[in-house]
Amino acid sequence: MSAVAEVTPQTYRSAEAHAFQAAGADFLYLVPSGAIFRMEGLSKEIVDLLRATELSRDEIIDCFKGRGYLPGDIEGTLDDLEQAEALASNHVKPVKPALPIQNFPLQRVVLNVTNQCNLACTYCYEYSDDKITKPDGKPKYMTRDVAEAAIEMLILESSSRKGIHVTFFGGETLLNFPVMRSTVEFAISKAAEVGKEIEFSLTTNATLLNDEIVGFLSEKRIGVTVSIDGDRELNDKMRVFHDGRGSYEVIAPKIKKLLKTHRSNSIGARVTLTSQVSDVRRIYQHLTTELGFDSVGFSPATASPDRLYHIGTQKMDNILDSFAALAWEYRDHAVEGRQHGFTNVSDTLKELHSGVSKAYPCGAGLGLLGVSTAGDISLCHRFVDSPVGKMGHVKDGGVNHDARREFLSTHHIGARYDCHTCWARPVCSGGCYHEAFIHYGDTAAANLHYCDWIRGWNDLCLQIYGEISVRNPSFLDRFSD
Ligand SMILES: C[S@@+](CC[C@H](N)C(=O)[O-])C[C@H]1O[C@@H](n2cnc3c(N)ncnc32)[C@H](O)[C@@H]1O
Ligand code: SF4
Ligand code: SF4
């Protein structure tokens, strides 16, 4: 922070914050710093007073001496409030989130090892009417050669970062298991050569899992995300084969076997919600109790408003209510020190706990890049083979740093004027680029169609965070790394 020329006396006011209550206590979510501050007694009185007026330090001290407080206590509380950035001063310029350092080190590549799929899920952004990818004329399967060039690019671009990550994606990823397997072996040996720690993950529709693949995933400690939308009836509304047959019957036994056999890394379910599939409690119950997942994450389908499966405002509100019921159950578990599998809550609590103040909504183009079957580098896996978000080629010059820089400078929170007065911006930062492109035709647009939802969700998670911090604070230690 830089001091402003002291021509006027220094005064204080309450910093920009979102107030909430939890476990009978008052909290502030401090927008500039992303910190959560519990207010009690004098600190609450000072913050409340400085919401309505701006006073100098001496004026504050005089005011609270008049209310019977000791000067030393007032001074100490003011120092604490200043340190927590709960107070803003006319002598301190607000800090704008900084642009990332040049050539931000890469942490993760997402390899779209195929653009083919054996399913035809109605909502799929890769094949539906909303698709932005143009894979015509591109190879259907990534070759070993291209995959290995992508790994070399990751190692080079990760610069001094020790931990790196490769995610295998598709189309249906396991349609190209041979290249996935050889790439894992190659990446492990390359990472070892340069002293980096490498991890892998896979997203799959589970239809092609067999003993050989599961054995490999387990041996190489590959984290797995399985896409499934609930029980047979719900899953089969959208997740169907090309002939319209539902996929549940094929995947359920394979998933059970995967969960039983592969114990060396996390295996989570990923549910895509639509207007027809939105019974969050029923889906969660089935996936945890019947199939045995211990973590389940939900994501509303990205779709233009005229698609039948698009979730309208009313249904999104209902989904928020169902999320809330499951989130309070998470709270109950946490207070008793027990794990709960609703990962949307744990993901948000982790962000709140670490005090993120995002300059970008996600790592796309920053620590993460997507790679298409042909080796084209893109903003993320949702943009591979799309004319939007192109950032070079793994075998032809690697990352195009000019394109990457240009993207980052035009998508920074500072450039999203609609978000500048929103208290949720440290965690949202405008929302998903792909969602924005589908809704507004512009990756740089803020996703204003779901602001109320985002603020509602974050307010709920703040309350849950506050309750856990009062009733079982040690539970939050798991979010510290
Ligand atoms: C595109 S698939 C690729 C990997 C693999 N075929 C699978 O289904 O897991 C990855 C994930 O994107 C989700 N997905 C597809 N279309 C979506 C959309 N329009 N909005 C949100 N998620 C979507 C899928 O449900 C799946 O969980
Ligand atoms: S299985 Fe995955 S890639 Fe294939 S259609 Fe379904 S969501 Fe899309
Ligand atoms: S998109 Fe909406 S909720 Fe998100 S930061 Fe911008 S204004 Fe806030």
Pocket test for ligand 3, best of 451, 461, 462 (most atoms within 8 A of CB): 451
Average pLDDT, the chain: 94
Position 388 pLDDT exceeds 90: yes
Closest atom of ligand 1 to 381 CA is 1
Alpha carbons 128 and 203: distance in angstroms, whole number: 19
Write the single-letter amino acid at 244: G
What is the rounded average pLDDT of the residues 155-182? 97
Does the Cβ of 451 fall within 6 Å of ligand 3?
yes
- Specify the residue for token string 């803020």: 446
Largest CA distance in the chain: 79
203 lines ligand 3 (CB under 6 A): no
Supply the angle between the helices 343-354 and 451-471 in degrees, to the nearest 10: 80
Tally of residues, the chain: 481
Which pLDDT tens digit goes with each residue over 106-147?
Answer: 999 999 999 999 999 999 999 988 889 887 889 999 999 999
**CATH architecture, domain defined by 108-402:** Alpha-Beta Barrel (3.20)
What is the reported pLDDT for 102? Answer: 62
Q: CB burial class (10 A; 0-12, 13-18, 19+) of residue 98?
A: exposed
Enumerate residues 6+ apart whose C-beta is below 8 A from 99. Answer: 359, 408, 409, 412
Is the C-beta atom of 422 inside 6 A of ligand 3? yes
Both tokens of 315, joined, read: 């249904």
Give the position of tokens 């984290």.
223
Grouping H, G, I as helix, E, B as strand and the rest as coil, residue 447 is coil
CA angle in degrees (0–180, nearest 5) for 107-112-114: 160
pLDDT band at 99 (very low <50, low <70, confident <90, very high): low
Dihedral sign of CA atoms 385, 389, 391, 392 in order = positive
Is residue 361's pLDDT more than 90? yes
Residue 91 has a pLDDT of: 82
* CB-ligand 2 contact for 426 (6 Å cutoff): no
Rounded to 10°, the helix 41-52/57-65 angle is 120
Q: Is the pLDDT at 410 greater than 90, yes or no?
A: yes
Tokens describing residue 212: 């050989």
Q: Encode pLDDT of 191-232 as tens digits.
A: 999 999 999 999 999 999 999 999 999 999 999 999 999 999
Six-digit token string for 80? 């604490």
Structure confidence at residue 399 (pLDDT): 96
Write the residue with the smallest CA distance to atom 7 of ligand 3.
Answer: 419
In testing the pocket of ligand 3, which one of 16, 357, 413, 419 has its CB within 8 Å of the most ligand atoms?
Answer: 419
Domain boundaries, the chain: 12-89, 108-402
Beta strands at 296-300 and 368-371: parallel, antiparallel or unpaired: unpaired
> What SS3 state is found at 474?
helix
Q: Read off the pTM.
A: 0.94
pLDDT of res. 481: 73
Q: How far is C-alpha 289 from the geometric centre of its chain's CA atoms?
A: 26
- What pLDDT sits at residue 2? 44
